[in-house]
């Protein structure tokens, strides 16, 4: 099942929530709509599901027009499975009945229902809970019921609306991979909505980063992470620090650091903003680059998070865990910058043009 979305716009009472969306999701792709709260990602998802109607634009499933200003194929006719943020597991039915519901609607015979439901429960590891009521289940278990229910009718497409946001950290991680595995096993396309960028990066084939109703960038996790097209994207994914500077003749001058970065391919000259990810800075005692003084250090087990004082700035550096014991607070260190991204400094983060990276 492929989803084609053309010039999608959605406004509630004249204020636009989705300003423009024009994409194609291929069959079997794992797509994530990523962005901060209120950016419009849930609205797009609900339009794909059929719960909202576009103000203008079209949505096609395979070669059938399902949503437009004038048409709206109802959700029950789209053959799409959906998992809600609040799980929406029906409290008056047992786990078995919840999962069996979509099949019962289609008047599938009892035996087939039993077979399919049991299989699904196995997939989500809830076989022993078939007769329980949702009130007797934990959050994670309820979420898995919702998942099983959405999958039992073997849809071609699965929509998930922030399904893991109510779970604790460890469970979130486990479920993340489970969902991805199931999707791959069953060869189902997924459109996944979340504001957690780690989740997005771990699971997606492609990520659409949305802000204020407009897609900022779309691409594979690696693309978006390493080659953000503007400050918003750079900032949203991973950690990043911005420094002002000037560009001139293939060199970038970081104003406050009094350091120069070589950037031979750059043709632009003028004010720039340089984005540096903390993991792209390494420390050493030897004179590699620019120096500063360690002001704080935090031990995170697998990494060490440090703050280096350079003039007025406090630069963030992330090194491996062993680094923690190698340096003390107050030590003078040298930093080497391995990678950076340069943006034209036009003031407003949202409309930055990418230059080159």
CB of 308 to another protein, least distance (A): 39
**Strand ranges (DSSP E) for 164-230?**
189-194, 206-211, 214-219
36 binds another protein (CB under 8 A): no
Q: Which residues are bridge partners to 102 per DSSP?
A: none
Binding residues for another protein, rule CB under 8 A, total 28
Considering only residues 20, 36, 105, 311, which one is a binding residue for another protein as defined by CB under 8 A? 105
Kindly indicate which of the ranges 67-75, 224-232, 239-247, 298-306 contains the residues binding another protein, using the contact rule CB under 8 A.
67-75
86 binds another protein (CB under 8 A): yes
Q: What are the helix (H) ranges across 51-168? A: 95-105, 110-123, 139-152
CB of 16 to another protein, least distance (A): 18
Kindly indicate which of the ranges 68-76, 201-209, 264-272, 347-355 contains the residues binding another protein, using the contact rule CB under 8 A.
68-76
Contact assessment for residue 347 and residue 270, using Cβ atoms and an 8 Å cutoff:
no
CB of 82 to another protein, least distance (A): 4
90 binds another protein (CB under 8 A): yes
Considering only residues 14, 70, 106, 170, which one is a binding residue for another protein as defined by CB under 8 A? 106
- Closest to another protein by CB, 165 vs 280, is 165
CB of 21 to another protein, least distance (A): 20
146 binds another protein (CB under 8 A): yes
SS3 of residue 345 by DSSP: coil
- Closest to another protein by CB, 54 vs 81, is 81
Would you give the DSSP letter of residue 288?
Answer: S
- The mark string for 158-187 relative to another protein (x by CB under 8 A, - otherwise) is -x----------------------------
End-to-end CA distance of the chain: give it in Å, rounded.
36
Q: Which of 114, 71, 74 is nearest to 96 (CA)?
A: 114
79 binds another protein (CB under 8 A): yes
94 binds another protein (CB under 8 A): no
SS3 of residue 186 by DSSP: helix
Q: Which of 220, 85, 102, 208 is nearest to 154 (CA)?
A: 102
Contact assessment for residue 342 and residue 356, using Cβ atoms and an 8 Å cutoff:
yes
Considering only residues 92, 169, 265, 347, which one is a binding residue for another protein as defined by CB under 8 A? 92
Q: What is the dihedral of CA 197, 199, 200, 205, to 10 degrees?
A: 150
Angle 159-207-349 from CA coordinates, rounded to 5°: 125
Residues near 177 by beta carbon (within 8 Å), at least 6 away in sequence: 202
Q: Using CA atoms, how far apart are residues 146 and 160, in angstroms rounded to an integer? A: 10
CB of 80 to another protein, least distance (A): 7
351 binds another protein (CB under 8 A): no
CB of 195 to another protein, least distance (A): 14
Give the pairing of strands 251-254 and 259-262: antiparallel
157 binds another protein (CB under 8 A): no
148 binds another protein (CB under 8 A): no
SS3 of residue 27 by DSSP: coil
Residues that bind another protein (CB under 8 A): 49-51, 72, 74-76, 79-82, 84-86, 88-92, 101-102, 105-106, 146, 149-150, 153, 159
């Amino acid at each position: 099942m492929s989803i084609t979305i053309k010039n999608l716009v959605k406004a509630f009472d004249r204020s636009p929530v989705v300003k423009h969306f024009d994409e194609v999701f291929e069959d079997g792709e794992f797509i994530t709509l990523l962005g901060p709260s209120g950016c419009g990602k849930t609205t797009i998802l609900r339009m794909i599901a059929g719960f909202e109607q576009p103000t203008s634009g079209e949505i096609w499933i395979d070669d059938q027009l399902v949503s437009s200003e004038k048409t709206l194929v109802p959700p029950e006719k789209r053959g799409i499975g959906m998992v809600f943020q609040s799980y929406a597991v029906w409290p008056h039915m047992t786990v078995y009945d919840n999962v069996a519901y979509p099949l019962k609607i289609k008047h599938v015979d009892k035996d087939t229902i039993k077979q399919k439901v049991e299989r699904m429960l196995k997939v989500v590891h809830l076989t022993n809970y078939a007769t329980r009521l949702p009130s007797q289940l934990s959050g994670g278990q309820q979420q898995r019921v919702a998942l099983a229910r959405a999958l039992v009718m073997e849809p071609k497409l699965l929509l998930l609306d922030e399904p893991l946001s109510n779970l604790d950290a460890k469970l979130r991680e486990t479920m993340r991979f489970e969902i991805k595995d199931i999707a791959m096993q069953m060869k189902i396309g997924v459109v996944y909505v979340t504001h957690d960028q780690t989740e997005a990066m771990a699971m997606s084939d492609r990520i659409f980063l949305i802000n204020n109703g407009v897609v900022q960038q779309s691409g594979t996790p690696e693309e978006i992470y390493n080659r953000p097209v503007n400050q918003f994207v750079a900032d949203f994914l991973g950690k990043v620090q911005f420094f002002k500077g000037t560009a001139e003749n293939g060199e970038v001058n970081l104003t406050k650091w009094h350091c120069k970065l070589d950037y031979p391919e750059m043709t632009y000259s003028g004010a720039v903003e340089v984005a540096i990810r903390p993991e792209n800075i390494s420390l050493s005692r030897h004179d590699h680059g620019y120096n500063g003084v360690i002001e704080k250090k935090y031990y995170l087990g697998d990494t060490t998070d440090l703050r280096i004082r350079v003039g007025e700035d406090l630069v963030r550096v992330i090194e491996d865990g062993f680094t923690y014991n190698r340096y003390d607070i107050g030590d003078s260190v040298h930093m080497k910058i391995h990678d950076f991204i340069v943006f034209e400094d036009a003031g407003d983060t949202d409309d930055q043009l990418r230059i080159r990276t």
